[in-house]
Structure 1
Amino acid sequence: MHLSESAMMDGANPFEFDGPVPVDHVIDRQREADAIEAWTREGQLMVLAAPRRYGKTSLIHKVSSEGKRNGLVVVTADLFGVASLADLVLRLERAWAQYTPERLRPTVVKILAAARAGVSISGSGFAVTMADSPAADPLSALRVILELPTQLAQREGERILIVLDEFQSVAGVPEAESLIWQHAHQHLDAVSYLFSVGRPDIVPESPSGRPVETLRLGRLPVTELHEAIKKRFVAGNRDVAGVLDGLLTAGEGHPQRTMLLAHLLWQEVHMGAQATDDHWEAALTMALRLVAPEAQATMSGLSAGQRKVLRAVAEYGTPMAARALRTLGLPKTTAQKATPHLVAAGLIEEMSRGWRVIDPLLARWIRTNYGTRA
């Protein structure tokens, strides 16, 4: 990233936007963290649903951190793009290797060794097993690692929470989803499951019909964002009172995009200085440059009709506005067919009044580059 001389930083930037944020920087998610921990101890099955970049992983880290202090073992597996049963085994094996507390590692090692399925959290794991024995059965290995939390809980008396992040990816792996649900229903008195999904329009349901607690992450409240962002700027001896409302308006409560804008504004304002409109415009311009490659890729990946609907929502707040249909040459039937696809892709969402693009910077980029309204 190239910055002008006036944009040089005076101290560490406190706004992280390119990954999960530190636990102590999570804004306004304590109620959600408390709910997950309470449901875990009650033996509930849980679903956490939110669009991409809404802070699901950051919330999970918060639950894990607070759970450790309260005697809760939390094992989190990232299943994004999982491709096969063998890949799933490797993801779960890696999760146990990373998150098993030291006091429990000897027991976990013994349980896995006794199963003789080639799964391990120390030394050679299932990848080596497959290399040495091409005929190794990933389904048997998966059963072993799915039975692990129950056996561990029974031996050690520990309460365990298994978090399966990006669980929707499992749908493409034959047998995996049904097997996971089967194990999730066993011994809920000691082991709970949290299924985290990036498709808020499709929430997984238990095949058995057992109730599942669903938690949908929304956008962050303006009041809490205002207070948190202002506090960090003040701590860095920077005054952003004059432009903070503009930043919050542009971010629309979107967690990651708001942090990106705050990060870029911090870089524009010297320590001891007061943010001006020029600082804010420079930060916003840089934000649009940063999102441009992703925005272009998003647009290129859509059909002509889908692009028109996305533009209509970005500019007019609905794909069915008469002016949008006329200006963009968008037939109503095309709009009706394309809209569900954009919802499923996590690009747009319906509100009480109209529609909006989930990513406010994508919407602004579209209006800036393809605007049809004065």
Structure 2
Amino acid sequence: MAYLLESAMRDTASPFEFDGPVPLDCMVDRRSEAETIRVWTREGMLMALVAPRRYGKTSLIRKIASEGEDVGLMVVTADLFGVASLFDLVLRLERAWARYTPVDLRPTVNNILGSAQAGVSISGAGFALTMADRPTSDPEAALYALLELPAQLARRRSGRILIVLDEFQSVAGVPGAQALIWENAWQQREAVSSLFAGGGPGMLLFSPDDKTSFSGQVRTLRLDRLPTSELQNVIKDRFTERNRDVSGIVGELVAVCEGHPQRTMLLAHLLWQEVPAGERGTTDDLEAAIAVALRQGDAEFRATMSGLTAGQRKVLRAVAEYGTPMAARALRALGLPKTTAQKAAPHLVAAGLIEDTDQGWRVIDPLLARWIRTNYGTRA
């Protein structure tokens, strides 16, 4: 009976992970990207991992961290999304060390931090408790202690340390922080590698304080969309393994999502819900899955549009429908002055909503583009 229940669950549970970082055994491709970062890490490079949201940056970082354990690489990852102040930055870094420091190194790390007398600790509340007891405590001293920690720890252990600062572009809003982080990373590169991950063009081009150029000192890896052939094979195989056949529509599914990692897995998951075991998927099943995806994304897409100026909304619509913000038909149909389009397009690029590729302009999220065309299309 237990075997039958397990078999039934295996046949009905979707094999497609789309909500958050994917398990290591579910990653599609990214082998060359992982190897590139491993090589650069061994060489002591300062690295930038740049990609739009939902392209798998966090999943790739987790893969590198997991595999690093086998070769003595210690990886500490800090999520800096929306970091608001030096105090907030200290808390993010402190929590990262509390989470990723191996058990055998925790006493050593706490001794190093304790010797700095900056109120930082990876045990208990740490700097938050310090600020509660002594509100005038200097967060800059605590930040220095945390930024110098990797080099001090490297002198007491064998093996390289990799510091990953995810959503690093958020640090630009904290005066002085970006330059300070950069300076420490540069000085420690003999024993410590640093990976700056984020989603915006120009993430490492300058410090907001002194305009110091970073671009010539950092090796940049840009995550691209996933290859069509591999996506098709993975999706088809996962359906086949569970007695479902989508060979006739998998090509169309992948084409709809244009190689976008998360959107492809989401649509495959929704298609899974439309195709019963033992059945062959049809175009109607795929259309039903697309309709569900657009309904589920409606609130998110409306919020995205609402956060834009009128000119930016028109440019986004022009790219979604006409493939360029400068098409004469788009300018006429949307009442979009050419000068407005020229000013608005860079803002949408910086926001990670559109991109200008070798194949032309496109909306980064293919479901957002389809939602725009479905609800607000101006072409016959």
TM-score interval, smaller chain: over 0.9
Matched, 1:312 2:311: no
Q: Which stretch shifts more, 69-78 or 223-232?
A: 223-232
Q: 1:107 offset after TM fit, Å?
A: 1.1
Distance 1:370 1:352 in 2: 27
TM-score after normalising by structure 2: 0.93
Deviations along 1:292-314, one digit per CA (max 9) or x if unpaired, are: 11111111111111111111111
Deviations along 1:77-128, one digit per CA (max 9) or x if unpaired, are: 0000000001001000110111111222221121112222111111231111
Distance 1:201 1:229 in 2: 34
The 5-angstrom pairing of residues 259-338 of structure 1 reads: 259-338=265-344
Distance 2:71 2:359 in 1: 42
The number of equivalent residue pairs is: 367
Mapped contact 1:28–1:224 kept (Cα < 8 A): yes
Distance 2:213 2:326 in 1: 40
Where does residue 3 of structure 1 map in the other structure?
Answer: none
Where does residue 243 of structure 2 map in the other structure?
Answer: 237
The amino acid that maps onto 2:13 is: A
Where does residue 4 of structure 2 map in the other structure?
Answer: none
2:217 counterpart (189, 202, 211): 211
The 5-angstrom pairing of residues 96-135 of structure 1 reads: 96-135=97-136
The 5-angstrom pairing of residues 162-173 of structure 1 reads: 162-173=163-174
The amino acid that maps onto 1:245 is: G
Q: Which stretch shifts more, 182-191 or 158-167?
A: 182-191
Matched, 1:372 2:378: yes
Matched, 1:251 2:257: yes
Distance 2:261 2:302 in 1: 22
Where does residue 12 of structure 2 map in the other structure?
Answer: 11
Where does residue 82 of structure 2 map in the other structure?
Answer: 81
Q: 1:10 offset after TM fit, Å?
A: 4.7
2:350 counterpart (344, 357, 363): 344
Q: 1:245 offset after TM fit, Å?
A: 1.0
Structure 2 SS opposite 1:185 = helix
Mapped contact 1:343–1:349 kept (Cα < 8 A): yes
Distance 2:242 2:118 in 1: 54
The amino acid that maps onto 1:99 is: Y
The amino acid that maps onto 1:132 is: D
- Aligned identity (percent) is 69
TM-score after normalising by structure 1: 0.95
Q: 1:227 offset after TM fit, Å?
A: 1.3
Q: Which stretch shifts more, 209-218 or 312-321?
A: 209-218
Root mean square deviation of aligned Cα: 1.6
Distance 1:277 1:9 in 2: 25
